[in-house]
Amino acid sequence: MKNAPRTGARQIAAECLSRWSTGHAFAETLVARHTADAGLGPSDRALVQAIVYGTLRNKTWLEHIIRTLRPSPLDTPLHILTLVGLSQIFILGQADHIAVSETVKLVPQRVRGVVNGILRNAARRKQELIRERDTLPLPVRYSIPEWLVRRWQATYGKPETAAMLAWNNRPPVLHARGNALRPLDTVPDTLVPLEGIPGWYTLTGAIPRAAVENGSLYIADPSTRYCIGLLAPQPGERILDACAAPGGKSAAILSATGGKAILTSTDMHEHRLPKLLENLRKQGADHIDIRAHDWTQPCPPEWQQAYDAVILDVPCSNTGVIRKRIDVPWRLTPEEITRLSDLQHTILTCAAKAVKPGGRIVYSTCSIDPEENRAVIDRYLSEHPDCTLVQDHLALPHREQADGAYAALLHKRN
């Protein structure tokens, strides 16, 4: 029924947040699973996603509001329902009376007054609380753990970090790359060409499914073009894309070479290979060499020095894509960054053996952390004097108005 109160969606959002706070599942997975299990329609699914993502993106600030309005702590279920209500009031911009009444309905009768009191108070003091936000310490204002804010300030300085935090705190804008192998007949209404970046578009509405399905478009961020630009793949070159699934970079290489690069695409996860194959076929690849390989293991003899170039889009912390991966700040630890850096160094060391003398290695991440970027390159170069760094590029998200990314081009001497 049109305009029916969507209490079901709010309940499901609370369940997702409850699961998220006690487990390891990603928000995206939880929203997909719980909305499917509840049989919610598209608009309710969108509401669940908006509440869950909005709450997690602003978690520390919303919790600060709860503490301001009720100094004694709430038990977990009430705390989560209060977050669901506040998220509607402060982040989604719903009418206060609807946000309050629909949320309070979910609260057991005997404690309903507590949540009702906090939400009504929050709605009444809304403008004051919003104004106060700008005066709060950065970790609270932008809901990012203190250790991460300190780490970024030490690397980039305070003003740059503040600008990046403000950028990360907003919902993402999606982009798409046009595929030269399957040019668009007409540019769909929801695509706006990106100024100064030929072949790239901003999505201003629904994803043009038909164009994605026929391979004319690939949903990706313009920051992914840096590694392809450094690789500068040429027709006829043998190229190894070592960490390839789901195939964004492999497809970009094929698009850039008119389908004429001779590509081997590997990934350690067998279960990711069918999607990789499907994506590459869809985008016009006709001869595809797809294999499972774990690049923490030695380079197989038949691949040693067999490639003109190797691209390594390694697993990383995703600190450049926090707008899209909202779990990242809450799941990441400094120890995990160090573990990833070691893993990246191992993958680089093993996969670089596949490059011919005189060939190129492109290393890329969607991390903005130096430990996963330049430090990995410097460590590798210190152990491999036959390689030199030609160029590297760090894209900071707020500067690019896109995702953060790092790419480095190495040359292996003849």
Ligand X SMILES: C[S@@+](CC[C@H](N)C(=O)[O-])C[C@H]1O[C@@H](n2cnc3c(N)ncnc32)[C@H](O)[C@@H]1O
Strands (E) across 132-193 are located at: 175-178, 191-193
Q: Which is nearer to ligand X, 260 or 275 (CB)?
A: 275
Q: Which is nearer to ligand X, 46 or 219 (CB)?
A: 219
Task: Please identify the residue of the shown chain whose CB is closest to the bound ligand X.
Answer: 248
Site for ligand X in 284-343 (CB under 6 A): 294-296, 313, 315
**Closest separation in Å from C-beta 222 to ligand X:** 13
Q: What is the DSSP letter of 87?
A: I
Do residues 265 and 289 make contact, with C-beta atoms less than 8 angstroms apart?
yes
Do residues 390 and 409 make contact, with C-beta atoms less than 8 angstroms apart?
yes
Pick the binder of ligand X from 248, 320, 329, 404 (CB under 6 A): 248
Which tokens in the block code for residue 299? 């380079």
Pick the binder of ligand X from 246, 284, 397, 404 (CB under 6 A): 246
Is 221 known to sit in a ligand binding site? no
**Closest separation in Å from C-beta 337 to ligand X:** 15
Active-site residue flag, 350: no
Is 242 known to sit in a ligand binding site? no
Closest listed residue to residue 282, CA positions, set 250, 256, 240, 237? 250
Is 301 known to sit in a ligand binding site? no
Pick the binder of ligand X from 80, 164, 245, 254 (CB under 6 A): 245
What is the spatial order of strands in the sheet that 289-292 belongs to?
289-292, 262-267, 238-241, 307-313, 355-365, 405-412, 387-395
**Closest separation in Å from C-beta 380 to ligand X:** 16
Closest listed residue to residue 231, CA positions, set 414, 411, 413, 365? 411
Q: Which is nearer to ligand X, 57 or 249 (CB)?
A: 249
CA separation for the pair 127, 42 (Å, rounded): 32
Between the two ends of the chain, the Cα-to-Cα distance in Å is: 70
Pick the piece of the chain touching ligand X (CB under 6 A) from 261-269, 323-331, 392-400, 403-411.
261-269
- By DSSP bridging, strand 217-219 and strand 175-178 are antiparallel
Is 294 known to sit in a ligand binding site? yes
Q: Which is nearer to ligand X, 114 or 243 (CB)?
A: 243
Footprint on this chain of ligand X (rule: CB under 6 A): 243-249, 267-269, 272, 294-296, 313, 315, 347
Task: Show which residues are catalytic.
Answer: 366
